[in-house]
């Protein structure tokens, strides 16, 4: 497999390289409505999810043929421009090493509350003003793994398409139903649908395992530094605590969210098993 023959762009100062590398900065991503996707797994998930890819840069010296070749073929079938680059130019484009020799420029999809799926008994994860890319990426991974109905970022300044968020999420930022809204709009949207709102706080009386999480539910988590915003503190219907047995008085926000999500998943699975009709075993006459 070989993409169309072309002389690789060697200089990191090439205008096309500089334009794409500018997307490392949030204000450029916001201005252009674009983002960088680097890595074989991340780009693969973006393609599978229908993300609009504008162009793909590939470094022949770094491309892993086993994992990268199928993606190149998929890109070619979609008639997406593929630009060969040398190592120095490629290093200008990427945030990290071991990205597999592929980096793409893509359009950011829109994320409205109205686009979220609405199920009979939904489970949403709401992230309020989470700024650290590693935490946000880990929250996306946990939400994807738990099969949430959708993730809502209740802060329009949340930078979902920071390259480090895309990396930390392993590309699940492209597979999840996501909405970006203000806290006030999100709270109104949830309340209009009679979706219970819960959050973990250290001083809560109820343990998280003692609360019914099988109802239509939104689990809300805030930043470790500032916690939840005032709008959410007023809107929370139930506060739960996660027992802490050691000297630490709090958990990483992604760890806390994962615990709550999987408890909700456990309770829902158990409820489904209990409500499923029992199978009757028939016995043939001898």
Average pLDDT over residues 29-57: 95
Q: Is 90 among the domain residues?
A: yes
Q: Quick one: pLDDT at residue 5?
A: 55
Q: Is 4 among the domain residues?
A: no
In contact, 62 and 87? CB cutoff 8 Å:
yes
Give the range of the structural domain holding residue 227, as residue numbers without chain letter: 113-274
Q: Quick one: pLDDT at residue 52?
A: 97
Q: How high does pLDDT run on average in the chain?
A: 90
Q: What percent of the chain has pLDDT over 90?
A: 75
Q: Which one of 89, 107, 125 terminates a domain?
A: 107
pLDDT in tens, 219-247: 999 987 778 889 999 999 999 999 988 87
102 and 118, same domain (yes or no) = no
DSSP state of 53: E
CA 169, 171, 176, 181 dihedral sign is positive
Q: Quick one: pLDDT at residue 282?
A: 44
94 and 64, same domain (yes or no) = yes
Nearby residues of 145 by Cβ (< 8 Å), 6 or more positions away? none
185: nearest Cα among 126, 243, 244, 226: 126
Look-up of token digits 């109104």: 188
| C-alpha neighbours within 13 Å on the C-beta side of residue 81 | 8
Segment holding 220, helix H or strand E: strand 217-222
Domain count, the chain: 2
37 and 147, same domain (yes or no) = no
Q: Where residue 70 sits, what CATH number does that domain have?
A: 3.30.1330.30
168 and 145, same domain (yes or no) = yes
pTM: 0.89
Q: Quick one: pLDDT at residue 64?
A: 79
The secondary structure of the chain in percent helix, strand, coil, rounded to multiples of 5, reads 40, 20, 40
- When pLDDT is cut at 50, 70 and 90, the band that residue 3 belongs to is low
Q: Which one of 107, 126, 144 terminates a domain?
A: 107
Give the C-alpha separation, 208 to 251, whole Å. Answer: 14
Written as six digits, the tokens of 18 are 């500089």
Q: Where residue 176 sits, what CATH number does that domain have?
A: 3.40.1280.10
Phi-psi region of 81 (alpha: psi -120 to 50; beta: other; left: phi over 0): beta
């Amino acid at each position: 497999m070989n993409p169309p023959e072309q002389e690789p762009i060697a200089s990191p100062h090439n205008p096309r390289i500089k334009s794409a590398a500018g997307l490392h900065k949030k204000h450029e991503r916001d201005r252009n409505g674009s983002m960088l996707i680097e890595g074989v797994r991340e780009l693969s998930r973006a393609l599978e999810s229908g993300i609009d890819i504008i162009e793909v840069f590939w470094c022949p010296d770094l491309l892993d043929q086993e994992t990268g070749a199928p993606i190149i073929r998929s890109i070619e079938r979609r008639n997406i421009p593929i630009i060969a680059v040398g190592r120095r130019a490629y290093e200008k484009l990427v945030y990290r090493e071991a990205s597999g020799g592929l980096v793409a420029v893509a359009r950011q999809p829109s994320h409205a509350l109205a686009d979220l799926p609405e199920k009979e008994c939904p489970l949403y994860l709401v992230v309020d003003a989470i700024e650290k890319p590693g935490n946000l990426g880990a929250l996306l991974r946990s939400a994807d793994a738990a099969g949430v109905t959708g993730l809502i970022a209740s802060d329009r300044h949340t930078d979902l398409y920071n390259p480090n968020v895309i990396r930390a999420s392993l590309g699940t930022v492209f597979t999840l139903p996501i909405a970006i809204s203000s806290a006030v709009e999100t709270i109104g949207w949830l309340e209009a649908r009679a979706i219970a709102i819960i959050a973990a706080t250290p001083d809560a009386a109820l343990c998280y395992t003692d609360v019914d999480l099988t109802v239509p539910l939104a689990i809300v988590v805030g930043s470790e530094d500032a916690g939840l915003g005032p709008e959410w503190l007023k809107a929370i219907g139930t506060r739960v605590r996660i027992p802490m047995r050691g000297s630490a008085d709090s958990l990483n926000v992604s760890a806390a969210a994962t615990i709550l999500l999987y408890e909700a998943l456990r309770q829902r699975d158990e409820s489904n098993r209990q409500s499923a009709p029992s199978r009757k075993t028939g016995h043939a006459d001898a």
